[in-house]
Chains A and B, each alone.
Chain A
Amino acid sequence: QSVLTQPPSVSGAPGQRVTISCTGSSSNIGAGYDVHWYQQLPGTAPKLLIYGNSNRPSGVPDRFSGSKSGTSASLAITGLQAEDEADYYCQSYDSSLTSYVFGTGTKVTVL
């Protein structure tokens, strides 16, 4: 039972821009804890995509960007490519649960 809510799926044509929302509450995102994003390609381990709300690790294309506001965060993918087809998860920390928490996950489909 995830405490961070994401849309189950989003889709877009190659080259388009898609966004994925991540909605939390006052005990996690709203409490000021950072949001991080992971990409999980089929059959592989998750890979860090965005950390600290909007920072990209070395090697992650600048097509990926993150933002946070209030109790929500979002991941944007611009110039969508076939290789971006994957599951995406947001992650934060929850002070009530004293636990790391993940989003429900969003499947991105490239049409």
Chain B
Amino acid sequence: QVQLVQSGAEVKKPGSSVKVSCKASGGTFSSYAISWVRQAPGQGLEWMGGIIPIFGTANYAQKFQGRVTITADESTSTAYMELSSLRSEDTAVYYCARAPRVGAATLRYFDYWGQGTLVTVSS
């Protein structure tokens, strides 16, 4: 049974950083990619970026370039998303999501999702 379990809710001050973790179980970490998707209150889904753990190279949505860092630790099957220079508009639920890989190709959809982590940015 595939599971993605995320770290708990965070409350942060504007200008600070937050790091959210996503621990995978029930599958082979190296056989898929992990993305991060956020959802502001009452809003839609927004892709932030992703990583293929066996390669370790992340790619990011243009909107978040320079402010987000996605990493992965194969030894613990855990992915991380760090967002810096937080502002009130970053208040959202952050999800990690798994994209399957077949051979060298990453299938461009998300078959399993974490439970979400609420990040609240407030002074």
Interface size bucket, A side? 20 to 34
| Complex contact A45–B95 (CB within 8 A) | yes
Are B44 and A36 in contact, with the CB atoms below 8 A? Answer: no
Q: How far is the CA of A13 from the CA of B116 in the complex (A)?
A: 32
B77-120 residues with Cβ-Cβ distance < 8 A to A are 95, 97, 107-116
Interface residues on chain B, size class: 20 to 34
Number of A-B contacts (CB under 8 A): 58
Asked if A64 is an interface residue, CB under 8 A from chain B, the answer is: no
Q: Does A45 contact B113, Cβ atoms closer than 8 Å?
A: yes
- Binary flags per residue of A68-111, CB closer than 8 Å to B gives 1, else 0: 00000000000000000000010111000111111111000000
A45: chain B residues at CB < 8 Å are 95, 113-116
Instruction: State which residues 45-67 of A face B: CB under 8 Å.
Output: 45-48, 51-52, 57
B108/A46 in contact, CB under 8 A:
no
* Contact A33 B108, beta carbon cutoff 8 Å: yes
Shortest A91–chain B CB gap in Å is: 7
Which residue of A has the minimal Cβ distance to B109?
A36
A67 vs B38: C-alpha distance when bound (angstroms): 26
Apart from A52-B109, A57-B111: 15 A-B pairs, beta carbons within 8 A: A34-B109, A38-B45, A45-B114, A46-B45, A46-B113, A48-B112, A51-B107, A51-B109, A92-B108, A100-B35, A101-B47, A102-B46, A103-B44, A104-B44, A105-B45
